Structure 1
């Protein structure tokens, strides 16, 4: 009898090890930024099964947020530049984003070297075939610090 339980345990452990990671892991994204005004990724995607997504931005540099701060902003690709333009006058204390800008789907705080910031957002109103992009809204950074965001079927 003990051998049967032992073998059943091994079979169960083997089956569990072969199972794919939980969808929750696929719904948590990390992206790095640095003092050279760069994101370490140009494309981010999540499966359509993610009802909520958490993005964590890390600043691997050393410069202060008022000098070389970065944030992560998600919008439609069409709205990126207008959001960045409108946010310039908002200042660092408002994450270089116009207050209550409905074009912004999600954004982190502006952070400086050694800091991290996360944002969790719903994908309920996003389309799998939508044209979404992420960018940094710190003045002048959008030209280099941008990428695509997609929801995959």
Structure 2
């Protein structure tokens, strides 16, 4: 079956389970491009279906698809703002795991997503750091433990110290 570029989010959701890796890579590229264009509507049948469709991409072993899923989530955060909070419990544990990815680009995208969560008021910086601290300090992956202090430094540079 030939790939046809979707024209709306429902079209992307329908094609996300495709097994062909080339189709997934192109679909992921197109989804990020679609979401980054403010003129495209993000109204769809169920935003949860889109989140659920992105989760296997985020947790999968193909680094390009994982990277594009992080970019797609970042674009969703920018578009949805605080409404994305409904999905943070689902997404955040897997973003934390991606902080320990072997590829620098994937770790950078995970850091950018965490920054977007704070910047677009999905989670206040202190709340995000508190959530991360519960799992990052004791994470089995040493890279995650290394990246967490960098997240704290980034938050401090951007938002300053929390008020007492």
Specify the TM-score bucket, using the shorter chain as the normaliser.
Answer: under 0.3
Of Structure 1 and Structure 2, which has the larger fraction of its residues in strand? 1
Q: Which has the higher contact order (CA 8 A, sep 6+)?
A: 1
Of Structure 1 and Structure 2, which has the larger fraction of its residues in helix? 2
